[in-house]
Structure 1
């Protein structure tokens, strides 16, 4: 397992954009397939393929560029800076990605009214996201940042603490 993580870290450092796009696409697609499974419905691979298409063509690219822009515009990890980045992401990035998801999926599903799902689902999804995403966001949003966080956690677990 350590070799796999090492290879992924190397790929993320060497090819950050394509690695992030592929990981985003894999995670979104797996999430869609898992949601279908949890609902006890039959697998709808066409739906999962649409999610993968939308993620690969828009979401992964937008998130990669957007989070890098935020990090460049607001560098650092001081609490005030992190809070500002999270607020910018929730007030600007969140609505853009949600809107693109609902409209994009409607286009790929060939719906007559491509804005209907957006109108019906946006606010509930946005409010739910406001309760979840600010709690899990950290770093600059890149895979390298996630690996740095994981590496710190591994070092904390593996190290000895005084008094133990």
Structure 2
């Protein structure tokens, strides 16, 4: 009996290990042509002061990444990063304009206006790390068109996501 159980235990262990492996792999691109062939048209293209361009690939409202690829004049990709990575979220500071925030984080998921507080809040889905959390939102609170503060909201599996 024990000999027949061992293969089952090994298979279950391998399958559980596979569950912890990221399912989304973002390849490193060397040229704009490779990027466009693989990912298609970007969500937006940003012209940078140094003559480079940044191609934005947002996955909002349902995804939790926003890949930015900076391309030089020769079509080489000189930088690529996820704009919704924790270290990039920390770049949003009080006093920034909506345009500055949009440039840092990419296309947002939703915006809401709260009449009583006078705040307009933009949110982005970000990676959820906790078990039981359906999704996590990074929120930027604007008052009079500039950032007042940021916050994080957790939507649990038993809540209706549209109720928030």
More strand by share: 2
What TM-score do the two structures reach when normalised by structure 2? 0.22
What TM-score do the two structures reach when normalised by structure 1? 0.22
More helix by share: 1
The structure with the larger Rg is 2
Greater length-normalized contact order (CA 8 Å, ≥ 6 residues apart): 1
